[in-house]
Amino acid sequence: MKFGIDRLIEEAALRRPLAGKRIALLAHPASTTADLTHSLDALAALPDIELTAAFGPQHGLRGDKQDNMVESGDAYDARLGIPLFSLYGEVRRPSAEMLDSFDLLLVDLQDLGCRIYTFITTLRYMLEAAADHGKAVWLLDRPNPAGRPVEGLMLRDGWESFVGAGPMPMRHGLTLGEMALWFISHFKLDVECEVITMRGWQPDSAPGYGWPLAERTWINPSPNAPNLSMARCYAGTVMLEGTTLSEGRGTTRPLELFGAPDIDASALMKTMLELSPAWLEGCRLRPCWFEPTFHKHAGHLCQGIQIHVDSEAHYRHGSFKPWRLQALAFKALRQLQPDYPLWRDFPYEYEFERLAIDLINGSGLLREWVDNPDASVEDLDALAMVDEAAWYQATERFKLY
């Protein structure tokens, strides 16, 4: 198969509309061609492309920032002779000076298929800025490694943030190119936008179900996204960022496991199974021990659970529900230890008033369900199913594959 960047590099006819235009690139470490050349270098090598700027999202253009919520500064590439602008530093939206540096923006970002992944918000901000300043945007499309399944509650009105770019569920099921088309329609943006589509992407095919396992090397799109297993789990495990439980940062399996020094992992798994065996389908859970070297509970031995989704013997793409699984873990912990200090109160992605768990979920509904001893699994399922069905219907016309 071919990604959008590979088609643009190989097919001169696709590049003809770029002639005479100043071109900028929005990219990150996973923005590479099939032969693992970074997209910035591959484009710079083309004689018919005039590169005048590059942009980096959270974690930086080259992925230099390892921890979460660490800003990057602007820089200058002396070899290419162009500015490198950060969209996760002094600004989140491009300034007028940044926009003056190009006529057309190429976007080549590997997404993870989850609303909270901030590259989606950066895309929205760039589309809005392009609409306001008469700039064109081309999306060089890439796979959604989590595939087509949709899951989670819809972000509610008034809950937009840097980790919530619009009213979508946690696991959105779109490619970034398709997401751009939805943004343009939903927010009524008057912007020239083109999607350079992939060729041969088969999101329903085993064993990758979205990621072409046999054809493309996995490169971390962000430092704690080390493999396909993390991408599959992320729509659930990302909620751990709003809790006191470790999400595995500081270990070699971040966002595939969770735990803390003061929980009983075996009892937690047993209670989860009693509450809803259906929400644990499609994967294998394993009690484990780990000691984070940094981040939450650093240097302390934690009991936890690892979610295994990397084996054909255990993984079932259509039945795996990471958001429900993680919600179930919170519910089970609350049942076992009603007074457990689960929700973490700290500034999260430039928000200082609202709890991180609510910001992550796009409302307080998930937290309220966990904390309500009378709320059942069926109650949350009913809420989510309505939102998931609405999203499927709203986005069907934007799907390109």
Q: For the segment 150-188, what is each residue's pLDDT rounded down to a tens digit?
A: 999 999 999 999 999 999 999 999 999 999 999 999 999
Domain 228-391 architecture = Alpha-Beta Complex (3.90)
Q: In which element (H, E) is residue 249 found?
A: none
* Contact between residue 347 and residue 176 where contact means Cβ atoms under 8 Å apart: no
The alpha carbon of residue 229 and the mean position of all alpha carbons in its chain are separated, in whole angstroms, by 13
User: What is the rounded average pLDDT of the residues 272-285?
Assistant: 98
pLDDT at res. 63 = 62
pLDDT at res. 70 = 62
Q: In which element (H, E) is residue 361 found?
A: helix 356-361
pLDDT at res. 347 = 86
3-state class (DSSP) for residue 246: strand
pLDDT at res. 67 = 57
Q: In which element (H, E) is residue 133 found?
A: helix 119-133
Which residues does 256 contact at the CB level (< 8 Å), separation at least 6? 229, 230, 233, 237, 248, 306, 307
pLDDT at res. 68 = 53
Q: What is the value of pTM for the model shown?
A: 0.95
- Note the helical H segments in 58-118: 96-99
Residues 63-89 pLDDT 10s: 665 555 566 778 999 999 999 999 998
Domain segments of the chain: what residues?
Answer: 4-222, 228-391
Q: How far apart are the first and last CA of the chain?
A: 13
Residues 122-157 pLDDT 10s: 999 999 999 999 999 999 999 999 999 999 999 999
Q: Which CATH number is associated with domain 4-222?
A: 3.40.50.12170
